[in-house]
Structure 1
Amino acid sequence: MGDEGRGTGACDRGVRVRELRALWGSRSRETVWDRTEDWWTPAVDAVCAAFATGADPADASGRLGAARARAGIGIGRSLADLAAFTEAVEWGDPPLRLVRAMAEGWAEGARAANTCQDALTGLATPAYLRTRLGELYPIGDDGPPTVDHRLIVVTLDPTLDPWRRAARLIVLGYELRRFFDRGESVCLLSRSRIAVIAQEAEDLDGRLSELRGGPGWEHGAGVWAVPLPPALREAMTLIDGLGRADG
């Protein structure tokens, strides 16, 4: 086959993968998924590509299970999402080999999640963000943070194509880790939002303006900040709401 034939074949596979992704995503949102923006992961396309080429998707199912665990998605919802895929491609119930591969991948990903680092972006995970917040409040949740901090939220457009949004998130995460170089915690909130816990300082407002006009503008990201709430429970409720807001 010539170069043109190979190019056409790759193009056809790409189209098929996108079609499967859309069909699966739609089915999953109808049955199990309640947060649109965090459904896609590169492992989703790996499963679709395996099916589109006639390969056994077991390995890709394992990768998907690991990705779900690292994102804090439970095994039950992960398996229900796999069932949405097999229904979308008219396989009915997931074959046992795919269930086993996903479960093993999920277990491995859950162990890796203890590192508190998101594998795709390199940012700290939402679980670490909660841990860090807990460190800022008195034991017993009976008072405001021991030192004044602000929660900075950097938001990408959740309607972007998943590939484009993931690419921007990776680059933006890298730039934010370089920008916030004074011990701030830079954490993932969702697949379209990054949170930063920054201590109050005289130049913080100026730095936020610099962020809006620099990396924020370059990546089409919104940047805003709020003081941390007066109690830990309220802070946890705030970040939970921010993480779900794009769903």
Structure 2
Amino acid sequence: MAVAQAERVLKSRWRTASLAAGWAFPGDWQLREVDEVCAAMVDTIDPDDALIRLGRARAEAGAGLGETLLDLAALHAVLDGGGGMVAPDVDALPARMLRLTASGWADVLTEEAVDRGAEDPLTGLATRGYLRTRLGELYREPVAPDEGYALVLVALDLTRATGWSRVVAMTLLSDVLRVVFDGGETLATIGPSVAVVLTRRDASLAQRISTLRVLAADRLAVDPHVRPTGPAKVWSEHLPATHQDACALITALAR
């Protein structure tokens, strides 16, 4: 079997086993780092760096540690189980495989904790941690923010973009957000391909969402390298009744 075909077969069986084990969001399973791990396993080269990058990528995409390790167990079961049915078992993971992936995942959370009040260095938008802090301030006010605020989400499809074009696409999107929401709203990046605006719900919100959709499409269409990331998906979400639920919503939307 050719190397490229073997990698495709491994990835397909890994994905099938992971979804069967309970991976919650089939659409976000595929990452560039998945391909890197498959290549390392098929080519029998040292997979250490690829596993660390996979752990980081899963954390950045919003996957929890338990979900990440169950996905890793699905890979291990496929590698260890031949061509038949497999049963992923986190407890059966080799210690080194588990440690490297978990280490990569934990590195992202450590960095987020350090940068909790900082801006994202690439887009200039606030971090997810800052957004949580801002939401906490709102939920401590006498009037609950779910009555007067909303979240406006913008998501790009980065699966068809590579290298710096992924960064450029998010940078262009952040510029559009600043144009449309220029009244002191909180603008944040909450995932590799998702940005959010915490804004008041008022009579102009629907028009601003429409304007955001049009300007984002225009800006992405200018550069042929970032055009495949569009059209941007733009929508709004009501805030839930509690700060805890709001933070859970942000985590889910980041994916």
| 1:68-107 equivalence runs, <5 A | 68-90=58-80, 93-107=92-106
Give SS of 1:180's match: helix
**1:110 corresponding residue in structure 2:** 109
Partner Cα distance (2:110, 2:251) in 1: 23
Matched, 1:187 2:177: no
Question: Offset of 1:102 from its aligned partner?
Answer: 1.8
Give SS of 1:220's match: coil
Give SS of 1:25's match: helix
TM normalised by structure 1 equals 0.69
Matched, 1:173 2:170: yes
Give SS of 2:215's match: helix
TM normalised by structure 2 equals 0.67
Partner Cα distance (1:214, 1:188) in 2: 21
Partner Cα distance (2:4, 2:215) in 1: 34
Cα gap change, 1:185 to 1:205, in 2 (>3 Å): same
Question: Offset of 1:66 from its aligned partner?
Answer: 2.6
Question: What is the identity percentage for the equivalent residue pairs of Structure 1 and Structure 2?
Answer: 36
Give SS of 1:186's match: strand
Within the candidate set 11, 17, 20, 1:27 is matched to: 17
**1:53 corresponding residue in structure 2:** 43
Q: Give the length in aligned residue pairs.
A: 226
**1:197 corresponding residue in structure 2:** 198
Matched, 1:224 2:224: no
Within the candidate set 135, 151, 164, 2:160 is matched to: 164
Tell whether the 8 Å contact from 1:68 to 1:106 is kept in structure 2 after alignment: yes
Question: Offset of 1:63 from its aligned partner?
Answer: 1.8
Within the candidate set 127, 132, 135, 2:134 is matched to: 132
Tell whether the 8 Å contact from 1:152 to 1:196 is kept in structure 2 after alignment: yes
Give SS of 1:56's match: coil
Cα gap change, 1:61 to 1:42, in 2 (>3 Å): same
**2:26 corresponding residue in structure 1:** 36
Gaps of 5+ in 2: 82-87, 222-229
Cα gap change, 1:107 to 1:192, in 2 (>3 Å): closer
Partner Cα distance (2:245, 2:107) in 1: 33
**1:145 corresponding residue in structure 2:** 145
Question: Offset of 1:208 from its aligned partner?
Answer: 2.7
Cα gap change, 1:215 to 1:200, in 2 (>3 Å): same
